[in-house]
């Protein structure tokens, strides 16, 4: 890193043997390498969290609430048969008693009485049958039974003419249910914690931000390169802590760690503490990243680059940096208190000891709400870049977007209470509801500006642009469905239901992740110097779009119809929608797999990327693809705005390919 | 007004049928629904408008090779001000409308019946005004789900508390939800519509008691799910209940029916006496296997050993749990079984209360403390704790 | 980043070259300070959580707070405040000496600062925590004056980690059953007290380590009029620790 | 946020060269000034302790408590002055890039938002209870309940005559509720149809406390001592609000 020796090779250039390379990457202070390391770490965590999500979706394919169910396909009216309160010998197909220790002779089979009303109409299949023991009370079945079930009449002892082809499934007794639910709870906690703390929060800033923020500013590096590396190691340490809790048996607190549940569950185990400490440690990584970016933006802009000459991505990352610095320490002390509380049994949050669980929620959401904007703001920044570059159009309302970023960052600190409308005092709920709507204004302004930018542009549809449009679609839905949640009367119904789940997935996944993937495609040629297969990537994007909407739009319906979130099981009427949602999640998986293969193919056999494949005007397109070790051969000078497409030929582009109309230049002169 | 049109749409349109599984079952919930459907149309209009513009412009202004986009405005202040102000106005309106509906949901009317609801891992229980708990339950899968009868067209206010971790009381059909904490009360109220048969969940009650069944035979009812909406652990998803709305008169009949075994302490004591004690002990001074209960409270009785013992709480308690410890003169050889494990503390206290009412030296001695005093302040079920001195001891 | 040339005999600070990605050394210094102020922000908000808990619980349960503060000895707190203030002064003065090139006097002051920090932690541990946990030095703690040593010793230090029966095994460790409380919310007071002061003490210790590192580096001649970013930053950290204590002291010891 | 405000930043001079980029040496605060600040700080430390002592003395003098905010306001304003001194001189904010001061200002703003909004919720609960209490009656007004209350009242009137009977009824009614409050109920004591008057959030569930009598006495003393403070909870039941 000494200023003495300059290497003019690409930053990806090999440093010798394998171990030399590993050592080089492990000790690098180059923001590009750190960005790439972050990128792969985050993608790995995304994979882990995704697996947990799929497991959750599979669990929700069917409700386990109905423990013993079989499909009756009798020839006789089953109604009569079952109503007669017969004793049944339940046998396997080969005639041996099925699980005879559990289902002894004399076990009564009784229809689900409510089914009687259905019986007259359509009891050909799908009748639910409870298997009761002699006391008429406990369900004793614990196994999955498949095969035919014969039902005998206890009076005559003869088998009735009717055969019921039965399929018993589910894990029927309460302990088994609890065990199953327990696994489910651990899975969704894992999914939530990984996706929030380890994927979405660091996703854009720590990977793409790290790589491109100094490039866009024309700087050689971030302000504190060694802190930057440290933040990556902290990230890895925190992730190891959090993920090691799975190895120890998993955590079932939910990613929100609400007290008193989180302070009392698994009281004898250290794993909850591990998960909490993991989140705590990850906070430091987040703080260091944000702090680094703020100082970089303040101090390391290229000569001639004023605040309003910065690309809007930088503005967005800068705004989210402010939130990271101001909000993260509060989650730090919260989690610290939680750990104290678990270990030494202090009672700040535990009502049994005089504390206040609602205080915990305030502590928690004071961080966790602003951090929602840490997640989405850089995503919005990416979208701004994508739309401007791929429309070759001056962004509409530059200052409005820049100030909207800052405005969102500011307002984010005074709206956290909308997560707590069902637990807050009425005065506070009213105030927070009113303030919550403030967030909608800068957000709406941004969306209008993006759509406005398309007007009279010169728009190419490729994967990044497709993702920008997908973002506009999904994020608009996510934003608009925030309205019923901010509205007090409707939130009382929708709070903690699948409506909320769908809403924040539309914002977090439909917003941040879509922008993230779009951004990766957009900057892929710059980062790795290779082009990717456009058609295949677009196929992936379409699959992701379809899968995403199928998965999550159904969940809006589920929520409005009253399906609470974090349920391992549910009442039957929700099953259809859950099945649709699960199907959607697999389409989503297919989309991601396509993307993965596109990336791998590009790295292995991609065509060499030009320095400026899309015709961008910001500084990163000035550098080589991939950039050399110190970014630029000569320090760039800011001579035009980041989006002056109508008057400036993009770097590395032939003016013949970009014939700027004379009237544009004339207008620019007068401007 | 366009508002009105939207509300009308919200009432009957196909979209509200798609969104809402069933019509709301309370007035305030209907207000919530119309608010929601209003918001839905509001969102649809904006969304379709934005997406249509986006798609249209993307197609219209697609890139043509070798041409550069014409110079266009980088900003337009009036337009930007307009699209800041207009949404703001809408948002103000939305806030106030939501606030209005919400206030109605949280402030209970003065004539509401108050009940206590307790959430614990993982069940709900409600104490009715007469101190009884609902004996009704239905079996869903492996779990008995409690069935709570509630009067129709009558405001019911629940005072709620959790026993362990946080829970949330959520009745989707009423569109209400409120968290429960340990150690602190929260409140919620509703006034359910009369059952019209449109809402039936596939559940049935296993009412254990005949008289309960009798009280409700032929009565129309409507069931509503009660869910726990705040994550509370392993059986969070099994923590359900059923709110069964019946006409008010049927509800009152049912309430009387389930009172058996509950009620004021003295009434409970009397019921226990009927079931367990009346075969040996009379209450009218008549002779039987055991001593009569009339006028023993507060009097001294001679024991088999010749010792005189004042009949007080501790004596009665001892006699119930360990009958052979002190035997009243004249009743030697009568082996009263121990009721330890048969009667719980609450029931023993109830028996004591009942015995008091039978004595001229008991509470009747002080006319201020007649039997079932609790009932007069509307709080049956607040029995004296065992081991604690009764608050109304005459001395 | 420094470039060291072995043939150069000037002191290290004269040979300092700023990091290659900075344009000037002044900017690097400014940037470092800006970054560190941002870091101090996070520290303030970290303690902000404790202050928030303090404010809320004090408003809800003034009785417990009144009683709690009466059980603390303001004299020990006052001495500690003075100790920290003096150490803050020596820290500031050592920066001055570095700026004017009197390195050895600066080191002397740095060492004094560390000793003050050590004194602070010792007083805290010996005169405040230990008596409350064990009953040792009970005569030092007015709150323990009327309490027998045996009773206090029964709730030993390890009671802190004891699993107590009742309330789902969640009753506070004996640390919080400080035998003289009348108010049922006393455990909350002690929670806030211990969490606040212990996290603060942890910061004092971290600050001492930072300053010690600076002291060592100053000995090697790393810092001088030309370059003293490290000293400045350690100083900022130390002052912040002082700043927090300026608020903790009256809140815990004086306000009732 | 206002990092972008034109006052703090000159677009033409993004690196603030005019502020401090030009001089290699930064502000040097001399030892005399530092010593002065130290003496002032020590004085203020003395002052804040003295203030607390004087307050106790004055309370003894006037034989009653001073308003609750007096000692908070006194101690906190001194602490604020002290911290400003430390930040301005020791931490050199006064001579530094104004950006650092702005950052600090934002920090304290965020902290204030945090505490104030949390306070609005957690300390504002009973306000709304009081508002609600106007249309809420103890035990509800359900017929099932009120009929029995009426019957009891009638009985009392019958037995003691109109005046005395009513008084007796009210006395018993109150005694019932009062006894309930006192009954240091066990955690399962979730009796129907009664709000236990809650002290803070925890009611009587915390039994870490000493004997009941002592507790009650302390509570009473405390409530007397701090009129208008949070200790005086609104009884959610409205009518029976006399304390023990």
Please report residues of A whose CB lies closer than 8 A to that of C27: 299
pLDDT for position B209: 46
Rounded Cα distance between B378 and A620, Å, is 77
Asked if residue A266 and residue A281 are part of one domain, the reply reads yes
Q: Which residues contact D229 (CB under 8 A, 6 or more apart)?
A: C62, D68
Q: In this structure, is residue C14 part of a structural domain? A: no
Contacts of B252 in chain D (CB under 8 A): 144
**C1 against B54, higher pLDDT:** B54
* Cβ count within 10 A of residue B275: 11
D234 inside domain: no
Answer yes or no: is D238 within a domain.
no
Q: What percent of chain A has pLDDT over 70?
A: 80
Q: Name the pLDDT band for B90 (thresholds 50, 70, 90).
A: very high
Q: What total of structural domains would you count in chain C?
A: 1
The answer to whether the beta carbons of residues B351 and B344 sit under 8 Å apart is: no
The verdict on A260 touching D (C-beta cutoff 8 Å) is: no
Instruction: Answer with the one of A552, A576, A605 that is the final residue of a domain.
Output: A605
| pLDDT score at B214 | 61
Q: Which of B279, B261, B371, B358 is nearest to B316 (CA)?
A: B358
pLDDT score at D227: 35
Residue D10 structural domain: 2-125
pLDDT value at D54 more than 50? yes
Closest residue to B75, CB basis, from A130, A396, A437: A396
Nearest chain A residue to C157, by CA: A344
A352 part of contact set with chain D, CB < 8 Å = yes
Q: C9: which residues sit within 8 A by CB, 6+ positions away?
A: none
Measured distance CA(D171)–CA(B347) in Å, rounded? 27
How many domains, chain A? 2
Question: Residue A264: which H helix or E strand, with range?
Answer: helix A261-264
Q: Is A432 in Cβ contact with D11 (below 8 Å)?
A: no
The number of beta carbons lying within 10 Å of the beta carbon of residue C190 is 22
Residue A380's closest CA among A428, A315, A440? A315
In this prediction, residues A234-255 reach a mean pLDDT of 90
Å from A374 to nearest chain D CA? 14
Residue B387 belongs to some domain of the structure: no
| Secondary structure class of B162 (helix, strand, coil) | strand
Checking if the pLDDT of A454 tops 60, the result is: yes
Contacts of C181 in chain D (CB under 8 A): 208-210
Domain CATH number, residue C44: 1.20.120.80
Q: D11–A425: do the CB atoms touch at under 8 Å?
A: no
C2-26 pLDDT, tens per residue? Answer: 445 556 778 777 788 888 888 888 8
On whether both A182 and A214 belong to a single domain, the answer is yes
Q: Give yes or no for C164 touching D (CB within 8 A).
A: no
Alpha-carbon distance values, C2 to B140, C20, D26, D96 (Å): 73, 9, 21, 25
pLDDT at C21: 85
Name the band, by pLDDT with cuts 50, 70 and 90, for residue A88: very low
* Beta carbons within 10 angstroms of residue C127's beta carbon: 18
Tell me the β-bridge partners of B170: B177, B227
Which range marks the domain in which residue A256 is found? 31-61+176-605
The answer to whether residues A196 and A105 belong to one domain is no
φ, ψ dihedrals at D130, nearest 5° = -65, -40
Pairing outcome for strands B113-120 and B155-162: parallel
Q: Enumerate the β-bridge partners of residue B179.
A: B168
At which residue do the structure tokens 């793409």 appear? A208
Dig out the tokens for A668 from the structure.
């620019």
pLDDT at A668: 61
- Pairing of β B143-151 and β B240-246: parallel
Considering the domain architecture, whether residues B326 and B345 belong to the same structural domain is answered as yes
Helix (H) or strand (E) holding A164: strand A159-168
Whole-angstrom Cα distance, residue A285 to residue A206? 9
Q: With respect to residue B71, please indicate whether it lies within any of the assigned structural domains.
A: no
Q: Please state, rounded to an integer, the average pLDDT across all residues of chain B.
A: 74
Return the closest-CA partner of residue A621 out of A630, A613, A629, A612.
Answer: A612
- Nearest in space to A431 (alpha carbons), one of D127, C50, D199, C48: D127
pLDDT > 70? residue A388:
yes
| Residue in C52, C182, C187 nearest the CB of D218 | C182
The helix-helix angle for D98-122 and C25-60 (nearest 10°) equals 20
Contacts with D211 (C-beta within 8 Å, 6 or more apart), sequence order: none
Task: Match 């030494």 to its residue by tokens.
Answer: A344
3-class SS at C100? coil
Q: ∠ CA B100-B162-A277 to the nearest 5 degrees?
A: 95
- Note whether C39 contacts A287, CB cutoff 8 Å: yes
Q: For residue C139, give its domain range.
A: 28-254
Give A275's contacts (C-beta < 8 A, 6+ positions apart): A189, A193, A241, A242, A245, A251, A253
D119 with D177, same domain? no
Q: How many CB pairs under 8 A join A and B?
A: 310
Check pLDDT > 90 for residue C145: no
- Nearest-CA neighbor of A496 among D122, B179, B120, B233? B179
Chain B contact for D140 (CB, 8 A cutoff): yes
Q: Are residues D182 and D138 in the same domain?
A: yes
Q: Are residues D131 and D218 in the same domain?
A: yes
Mutate to test the interface with C, among A264, A299, A328, A627 (most CBs of C within 10 A): A299
| Structural domain count, chain D | 2
Which DSSP string corresponds to A345-376? ---SS-GGGT--HHHHHHHHHHHHHHHHHHHH
Nearest CA in chain B to D133: B110
Q: What is the CA radius of gyration of chain A?
A: 29
Q: Look at D210 and B70; give whichever has higher pLDDT.
A: B70
Q: Confidence band (pLDDT; 50, 70, 90) for B217?
A: low
Tell me the C-alpha distance between C251 and C249, whole Å: 5
| Residue B152 belongs to some domain of the structure | yes
The domain boundary, picked from A569, A586, A605, lies at A605
Residue A624 above 50 pLDDT?
yes
Residue D1 is predicted with a pLDDT of: 37
Distance CA B47, CA B41 (A): 10
Shared-domain flag, residues B306 and B322: yes
Chain D residue with CA closest to C177: the answer is: D208
Do B165 and B233 lie in one domain? The reply is yes
Alpha-carbon distance of A546 to A523, in angstroms, equals 24
Q: Which of C168, C170, C254 to mutate to test the interface with D (most CBs of D within 10 A)?
A: C254
Residues linked to residue B113 through DSSP beta bridges, in sequence order = B156
Find the domain containing B40 and state its range.
2-51+77-106
**Residue D86 sits in the same domain as residue D134:** no
More confident residue, A650 or B294: A650
CB distance C41–D108 less than 8 Å? no
Is residue A457 one of the residues assigned to a domain? yes
- Put simply, whether D110 touches A (Cβ < 8 Å) is yes
In a domain, A72, yes or no: no
CATH code (residue B361): 1.10.760.10
CATH number of the domain encompassing residue A244: 1.20.210.10
What are the angstrom distances between the C-alpha of C176 and each of C158, C248, D127? 12, 19, 31
Same domain, D153 and D80: no
Q: What is the DSSP string of B328-343?
A: BTT-TT--PPP-BTTB
**Contact between chains at B379 and D191 (C-beta distance less than 8 A):** yes
| Interface contact B387, partner D, CB < 8 A | no
Predicted confidence at residue A317, as pLDDT, reads 95
* B119 and B238 co-located in one domain: yes
CB contact (8 A) between residue B107 and residue D135? yes
Residue C21 lies in a domain: no
pLDDT: which is higher, B93 or B75: B93
Structure-token match 């932690």, residue found: C121
Residue C3 lies in a domain: no
A479 and A565, same domain (yes or no) = yes
- Is pLDDT at A132 greater than 90 in this prediction? no
Contact of C209 with C192, CB cutoff 8 Å: no
Query: Which positions ≥6 away from A131 have C-beta within 8 Å?
Result: A68, A90, A103, A107, A108, A109, A139, A140, A141, A168, A172
| pLDDT bucket at B198, cuts 50 / 70 / 90 | low
Give the strands of the sheet with B167-171, arranged side by side: B137-140, B143-151, B240-246, B222-228, B167-171, B176-180
The alpha-carbon gap from C104 to the nearest alpha carbon of chain A, in Å, equals: 30
For residues B283 and B192, membership in a common domain is answered with no
CA nearest A363: which of A322, A328, A324, A407?
A328
The share of chain A scoring above pLDDT 90, in percent, equals: 61
Q: How far is C141 from chain D (nearest CA, A)?
A: 18
In-domain check, residue B70? no
Q: How do residues A420-430 score in pLDDT, each as one tens digit?
A: 999 888 889 99
Chain D: partners with 3+ C-beta pairs within 8 Å: A, B, C
Give percent of chain B above pLDDT 90: 15
Lowest mean pLDDT among A235-244, B48-57, B73-82, D137-146: D137-146
**Residue B141 shares a structural domain with residue B161:** yes
Co-location of B271 and B222 in the same domain: no
Q: Are D21 and D120 part of one and the same domain?
A: yes
Which of the other chains make 3 or more beta carbon contacts under 8 angstroms with chain A?
Answer: B, C, D
> Is the complex ipTM higher than 0.95?
no
pLDDT of residue A505: 96
| Residue D233 forms part of a structural domain | no
Residue B361, pLDDT score: 66
Strand B176-180 versus strand B137-140 pairing type: unpaired
- Residue D52 CB-half CA count within 13 A: 26
Is there a single domain that holds both residue A142 and residue A230?
A: no
Closest CA of chain A from C108, distance in Å: 30
> Encoding tokens for residue D119?
């306070």
Smallest CA–CA distance, residue B146 to chain A, in Å, is 15
């Amino acid at each position: 890193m000494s200023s003495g020796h300059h290497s003019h090779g690409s930053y990806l250039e090999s440093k010798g043997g394998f171990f030399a390379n590993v050592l080089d990457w492990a000790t690098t202070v180059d923001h590009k390498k750190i960005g790439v390391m972050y990128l792969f770490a985050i993608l790995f965590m995304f994979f882990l969290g995704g697996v947990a999500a799929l497991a959750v979706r599979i669990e929700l394919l069917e409700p386990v609430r109905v423990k013993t169910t079989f499909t009756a396909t009798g020839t006789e009216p089953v109604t009569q048969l079952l109503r007669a309160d017969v004793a049944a010998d339940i046998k396997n197909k080969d005639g041996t008693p099925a699980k005879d220790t559990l289902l002894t002779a004399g076990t009564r089979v009784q229809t689900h009485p409510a089914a009687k009303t259905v019986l007259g109409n359509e009891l050909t299949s799908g009748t639910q049958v409870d298997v009761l023991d002699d006391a008429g009370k406990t369900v004793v079945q614990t196994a999955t039974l498949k095969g035919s079930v014969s039902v005998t009449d206890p009076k005559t002892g003869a088998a009735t003419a009717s055969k019921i082809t039965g399929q018993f499934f589910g894990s029927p007794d309460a302990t088994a249910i609890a065990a199953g639910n327990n696994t489910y709870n651990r899975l969704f906690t894992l999914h939530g914690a990984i996706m929030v703390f380890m994927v979405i929060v660091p996703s854009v800033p720590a990977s793409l931000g790290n790589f491109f923020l100094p490039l866009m500013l024309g700087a050689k590096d971030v302000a504190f390169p060694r802190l930057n590396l440290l933040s990556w190691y902290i990230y890895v340490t925190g992730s190891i802590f959090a993920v090691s809790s799975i190895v120890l048996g998993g955590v079932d607190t939910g990613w929100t760690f609400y007290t008193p549940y989180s302070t009392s569950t698994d009281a004898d185990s250290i794993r909850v503490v591990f998960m909490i400490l993991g989140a705590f440690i990850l906070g430091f990584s987040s703080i260091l990243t944000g702090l680094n970016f703020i100082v970089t933006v303040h101090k390391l802009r290229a000569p001639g680059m004023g605040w309003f000459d910065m690309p809007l991505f930088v503005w967005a990352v800068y705004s989210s940096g402010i939130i990271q610095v101001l909000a993260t320490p509060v989650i730090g002390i919260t989690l610290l208190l939680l750990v104290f509380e678990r270990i030494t049994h202090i009672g700040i949050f535990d009502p049994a000891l005089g504390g206040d669980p609602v205080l915990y929620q305030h502590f928690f959401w004071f961080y966790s709400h602003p951090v929602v904007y840490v997640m989405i703001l850089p995503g919005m920044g990416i979208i701004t870049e994508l739309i401007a570059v791929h429309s070759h159009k001056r962004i509409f309302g530059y200052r409005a977007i820049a100030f909207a970023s800052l405005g969102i960052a500011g307002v984010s600190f005074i709206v956290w209470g909308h997560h707590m409308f069902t637990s807050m005092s009425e005065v506070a709920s009213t105030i927070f509801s009113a303030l919550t709507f403030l967030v909608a204004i800068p957000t709406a302004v941004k969306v209008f500006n993006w759509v406005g930018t398309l007007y009279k542009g010169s728009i190419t549809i490729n994967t990044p642009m497709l993702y920008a449009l997908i973002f506009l679609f999904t994020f608009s839905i996510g934003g608009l469905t925030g309205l019923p949640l901010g509205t007090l009367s409707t939130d009382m119904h929708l709070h903690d239901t699948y409506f909320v789940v769908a809403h924040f997935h539309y914002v977090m996944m439909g917003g941040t992740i879509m922008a993230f993937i779009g951004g990766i495609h957009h900057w892929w040629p710059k980062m790795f110097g290779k082009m990717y297969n456009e058609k295949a990537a677009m196929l992936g994007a379409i699959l992701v779009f379809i899968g995403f909407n199928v998965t999550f739009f159904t969940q809006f319906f589920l929520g409005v119809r009253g399906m609470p979130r974090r349920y391992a099981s549910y009442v039957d009427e929700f099953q259809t929608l859950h099945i649709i949602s699960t199907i959607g999640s697999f389409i989503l998986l297919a989309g991601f797999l396509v993307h993965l293969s596109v990336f791998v193919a590009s790295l292995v056999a991609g065509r060499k990327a030009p320095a400026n494949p899309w015709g961008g005007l910001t500084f990163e397109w000035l550098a080589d693809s991939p950039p050399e070790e110190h970014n630029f051969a000569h320090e760039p000078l800011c001579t035009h705005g980041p989006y002056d497409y109508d008057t400036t030929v993009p770097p590395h582009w032939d003016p013949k390919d970009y014939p700027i109309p004379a009237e544009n230049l004339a207008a620019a002169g007068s401007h | 007004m366009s508002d009105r049109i939207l509300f009308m749409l919200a009432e009957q349109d196909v979209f509200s049928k798609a969104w809402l599984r069933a019509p709301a079952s309370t007035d305030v919930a209907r207000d919530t629904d119309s608010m929601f459907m209003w918001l839905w149309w509001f969102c649809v209009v904006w969304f379709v408008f934005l997406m249509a513009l986006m798609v249209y412009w993307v197609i219209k202004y697609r890139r043509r090779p070798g041409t550069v986009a014409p110079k266009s405005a980088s900003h337009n202040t009036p337009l930007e001000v307009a699209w800041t102000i207009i949404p703001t106005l809408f948002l103000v309106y939305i806030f106030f409308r939501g606030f209005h509906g919400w206030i109605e949901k949280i402030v209970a009317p003065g004539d509401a019946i108050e009940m206590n609801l307790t959430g614990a891992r993982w069940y709900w229980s409600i104490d009715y005004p007469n101190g009884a708990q609902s004996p009704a339950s239905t079996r869903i899968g492996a779990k008995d789900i409690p069935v709570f009868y509630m009067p129709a067209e009558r405001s019911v206010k629940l005072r709620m508390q959790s026993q362990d971790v946080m829970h949330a009381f959520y009745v989707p059909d009423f569109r209400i939800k409120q968290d429960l904490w340990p150690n602190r009360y929260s409140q919620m109220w509703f006034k359910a519509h009369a059952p019209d048969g449109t809402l039936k969940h596939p559940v049935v009650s296993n009412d254990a008691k005949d008289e309960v069944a009798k009280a409700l035979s032929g009565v129309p009812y409507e069931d509503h799910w009660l869910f726990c909406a705040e994550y509370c652990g392993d059986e969070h998803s099994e923590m359900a209940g059923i709110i069964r709305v019946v006409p008010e008169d049927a509800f009152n009949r049912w309430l009387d029916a389930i009172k058996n075994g509950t009620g004021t302490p003295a009434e409970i004591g009397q019921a226990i006496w009927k079931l367990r004690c009346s075969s040996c002990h009379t209450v009218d001074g008549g002779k039987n296997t055991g001593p009569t209960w009339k006028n023993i409270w507060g009097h001294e009785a001679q024991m088999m050993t010749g010792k005189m013992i004042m009949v007080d709480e501790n004596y009665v308690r001892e006699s119930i749990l360990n009958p052979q410890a002190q035997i009243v003169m004249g009743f030697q050889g009568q082996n009263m079984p121990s009721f330890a494990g048969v009667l719980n503390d609450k029931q023993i206290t109830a028996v004591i209360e009942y015995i008091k009412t039978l004595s001229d030296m008991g509470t009747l001695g002080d006319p201020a403390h007649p039997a079932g005093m609790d009932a007069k302040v509307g709080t049956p079920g607040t029995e004296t704790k065992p081991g604690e001195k009764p608050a109304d001891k005459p001395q | 980043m420094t470039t060291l040339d072995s043939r150069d005999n000037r002191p290290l600070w004269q040979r300092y070259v700023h990091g290659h990605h900075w344009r000037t050394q002044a900017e690097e210094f400014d940037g470092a300070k800006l970054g560190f102020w941002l870091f101090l922000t996070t520290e303030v908000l970290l303690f902000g959580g404790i202050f928030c808990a303090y404010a809320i619980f004090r408003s809800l349960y003034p009785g417990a707070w009144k009683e709690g503060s009466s059980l603390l000895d303001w004299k020990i707190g006052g001495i500690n405040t003075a100790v920290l203030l003096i150490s803050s002064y020596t820290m500031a003065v050592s920066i001055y000496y570095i700026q004017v090139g009197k390195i050895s006097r600066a080191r002397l002051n740095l060492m004094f600062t560390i000793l003050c920090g050590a004194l602070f932690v010792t007083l805290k541990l010996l005169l405040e925590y230990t008596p409350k946990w064990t009953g040792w030095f009970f005569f030092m703690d007015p709150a323990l004056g009327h309490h027998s040593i045996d009773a206090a010793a029964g709730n030993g230090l390890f009671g802190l980690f004891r699993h107590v029966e009742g309330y789902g095994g969640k009753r506070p460790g004996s640390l919080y059953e400080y035998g003289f409380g009348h108010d049922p919310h006393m455990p909350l007071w002690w929670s806030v007290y211990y969490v606040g002061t212990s996290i603060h003490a942890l910061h004092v210790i971290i600050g001492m380590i930072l300053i010690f590192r600076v002291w060592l580096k100053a000995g090697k001649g790393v810092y001088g009029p030309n370059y003293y970013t490290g000293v400045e930053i350690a100083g900022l950290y130390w002052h912040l620790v002082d700043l927090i204590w300026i608020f903790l002291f009256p809140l815990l010891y004086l306000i009732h | 946020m206002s990092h972008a405000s034109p006052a703090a930043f000159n677009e033409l001079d993004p690196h603030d060269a005019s502020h401090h980029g030009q001089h290699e040496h930064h502000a040097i605060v001399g030892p005399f000034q530092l010593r002065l600040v130290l003496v002032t700080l020590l004085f203020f430390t003395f002052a804040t302790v003295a203030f607390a002592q004087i307050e106790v003395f004055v309370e003894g003098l006037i034989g009653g408590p001073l308003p609750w905010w007096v000692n908070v306001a006194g101690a906190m304003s001194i602490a604020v002055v002290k911290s400003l001194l430390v930040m301005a001189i020791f931490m050199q904010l006064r001579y530094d890039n104004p950006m650092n001061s702005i950052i600090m200002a934002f920090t304290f703003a965020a902290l204030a938002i945090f505490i104030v909004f949390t306070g609005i919720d957690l300390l504002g609960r009973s306000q709304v209870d009081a508002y609600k209490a106007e249309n809420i009656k103890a035990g509800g007004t359900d017929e099932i309940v009120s009929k029995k209350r009426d019957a009891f009242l009638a009985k009392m009137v019958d037995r003691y005559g109109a005046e005395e009977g009513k008084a007796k009824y009210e006395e018993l009614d109150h005694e019932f509720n009062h006894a309930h409050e006192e009954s240091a109920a066990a955690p399962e004591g979730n009796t129907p149809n009664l709000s236990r008057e809650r002290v803070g959030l925890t009611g009587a569930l915390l039994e870490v406390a000493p004997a009941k009598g002592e507790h009650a006495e302390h509570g009473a003393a405390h409530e007397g001592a701090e009129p208008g403070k949070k200790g005086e909870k609104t009884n959610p039941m409205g009518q029976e609000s006399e304390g023990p």
